[in-house]
């Protein structure tokens, strides 16, 4: 699409890669954005320990904007990207992912066609399935969400995984933060990402789900667009996958705990019910595992269960850590 067409519909897309200490992966991700329909590309280096990523961008990708976010945590970096970007839409791509051809143009067209769309997630397939860890992650569900377009809240009355589900269950099932796009002005009005989520080992996850849920709460639509495609490099070792899945449980329950506290009226009951289900789900999976109907070993499921139970306290602790990191950055 030409720049003239982009100006005519008023929708510019800023592609963003948030990273920390992985310049080789950044180079691959940036390569996948070459030739895409973007207004700009921004790399946000999160609390870097060296200048390797800075040198990579300046030497090999001179047209890419580079920024440093000194407060460590993915959502600090995502918020820095919101401040740095100048496009109406900000599309995030993880540094261990690559965008397929047409990724940006498809995302841009979703927002350009309907001002009610506040967020769009994409189909994320495995970049490779070669190791036991990568196969295990896919067997557990992976990141892909199928080939059918989903629009929330309109489609939330459909069965989810064969069952009726509340809207918040759809919000955590409609995509992932590996690759998603947001209407920048709306997200800034919502106060940006919750920096206590996706904080690192203390609370590794939840920020993407939280943002999608808040977009829906604000009365906007969330679209899952399978025509927009990215590929993600899953962790190779089974032990790393077990740790990742356990961390995801902690982050998910932390986000749901926050959502129960902030919900109002009838919605609080539906969010609380879903939180209780997510606390119980690893135990249900343990029972299924005993019948050999679950891909994960019992030890991994038990670890997930423990991390889910840790979620509420982890969120409170992470809020304190996030405040401290933000204060240190302003000293």
Domains contained in the chain, number? 2
Per-run averaged pLDDT (10 residues), the chain, 331 residues: 48 97 98 97 97 98 97 98 98 98 97 97 97 96 94 95 93 95 98 96 95 98 98 97 97 97 92 97 97 96 98 95 89 67
pLDDT on residue 10: 75
What are the structure tokens assigned to 241, written together? 């996958």
In the prediction, which pLDDT does 195 show?
Answer: 97
pLDDT of residue 9: 64
**Do both 157 and 297 map to the same domain?**
no
Domain boundary among 201, 236, 271: 236
CA dist 316 and 300 (Å) reads 25
Backbone angles phi, psi at 206, to 5 degrees: 100, -20
Cβ atoms of 277 and 268 within 8 Å: the answer is no
- How far is Cα 229 from Cα 215, in angstroms, rounded to an integer? 22
The verdict on 196 and 263 lying in the same domain is no
Tell me how far apart the alpha carbons of residues 319 and 247 are, in angstroms, rounded to a whole number.
Answer: 17
pLDDT at 7: 45
Give yes or no: residues 135 and 264 share one domain. Answer: no
Q: Mapped to the 3 state alphabet, what secondary structure does 260-283 carry?
A: HHHCCCHHHHHHHHHHHHHHHHHH
- The alpha carbon torsion through 207, 209, 214, 216 (nearest 10 deg) reads 160
Q: Are residues 166 and 267 in the same domain?
A: no
Tokens 């030890």 found at: 299
Q: Say how far apart CA 284 and CA 288 lie, in whole Å.
A: 6
What's the rounded Cα separation, in Å, for the pair 278 and 161? 14
pTM (2 decimals)?
0.95
Virtual torsion, Cα 150, 84, 197, 242, nearest 10 deg: 70
Question: What does the alpha-carbon distance between residue 121 and residue 179 come to, in Å, rounded to a whole number?
Answer: 7
d(CA 236, CA 136): 9
Are 227 and 275 part of one and the same domain?
no
Q: Whose CA is closest to 78, among 39, 29, 105, 43? A: 43
Q: Which residue has the tokens 């639509």?
A: 221
Are 78 and 185 in a shared domain? yes
* Residue where one domain finishes, among candidates 176, 207, 236: 236
Torsion of CA 263, 212, 77, 109, to 10 degrees: -150
**Do residues 211 and 255 share a domain?**
no
| Cα separation, 185 vs 303, whole angstroms | 39
User: Any bridge partners for residue 122, and if so which?
Assistant: 225
Last-in-domain residue among 205, 236, 267: 236
**118 and 172 inside one domain:** yes
Phi, psi of 65 (to 5 degrees): -85, 140
Are 133 and 264 members of one domain?
no
Q: What is the pLDDT of residue 23?
A: 98
191 and 45 together in one domain = yes
Is the same domain home to 212 and 143?
yes
Q: Is the dihedral of CA 167, 172, 177, 180 positive or negative?
A: negative
Phi, psi of 319 (to 5 degrees): -60, -40
Same domain, 313 and 280: yes
Residue 5: its pLDDT value, please?
Answer: 44
Instruction: Give the CATH number, domain containing residue 209.
Output: 3.90.550.10
Provide the residue range defining the domain that includes 255: 245-329
Q: What is the pLDDT of residue 2?
A: 38
* pLDDT score at 266: 86
């Amino acid at each position: 699409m030409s720049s003239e067409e982009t100006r005519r519909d008023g929708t510019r897309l800023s592609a963003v890669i948030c990273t920390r200490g992985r310049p080789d992966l950044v180079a691959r991700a940036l390569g996948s954005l070459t030739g895409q329909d973007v207004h700009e590309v921004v790399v946000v280096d999160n609390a870097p320990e060296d200048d390797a990523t800075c040198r990579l961008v300046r030497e090999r990708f001179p047209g890419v904007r580079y920024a440093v976010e000194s407060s460590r945590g993915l959502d600090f970096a995502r918020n820095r990207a919101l401040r740095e970007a100048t496009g109406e839409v900000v599309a995030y791509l993880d540094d261990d992912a690559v965008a397929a051809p047409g990724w940006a143009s498809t995302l841009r067209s979703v927002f350009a066609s309907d001002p009610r769309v506040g967020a769009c997630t994409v189909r994320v397939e495995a970049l490779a399935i070669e190791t036991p860890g990568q196969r295990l992650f896919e067997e557990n569900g992976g990141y892909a969400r199928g080939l059918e377009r989903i629009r929330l809240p309109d489609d939330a009355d459909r069965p989810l995984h064969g069952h009726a589900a509340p809207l918040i269950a759809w919000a955590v099932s409609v995509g992932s933060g590996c690759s998603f796009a947001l209407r920048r002005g709306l997200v800034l009005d919502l106060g940006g990402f919750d920096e206590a989520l996706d904080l690192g080992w203390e609370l590794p996850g939840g920020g993407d789900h939280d943002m999608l849920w808040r977009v829906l709460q604000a009365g906007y639509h969330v679209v899952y667009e399978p025509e927009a495609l990215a590929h993600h490099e899953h962790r190779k070792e089974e032990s790393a996958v077990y740790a990742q899945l356990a961390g995801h449980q902690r982050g998910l329950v932390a986000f749901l705990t926050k959502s129960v506290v902030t919900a109002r009226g009838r919605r609080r009951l539906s969010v609380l019910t879903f939180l209780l289900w997510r606390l119980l789900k690893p135990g249900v999976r343990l029972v299924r595992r005993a019948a050999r109907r679950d891909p994960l070993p019992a030890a991994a499921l038990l670890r997930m269960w423990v991390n889910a139970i840790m979620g509420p306290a982890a969120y409170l602790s992470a809020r304190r850590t996030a405040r401290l990191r933000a204060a240190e950055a302003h000293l």
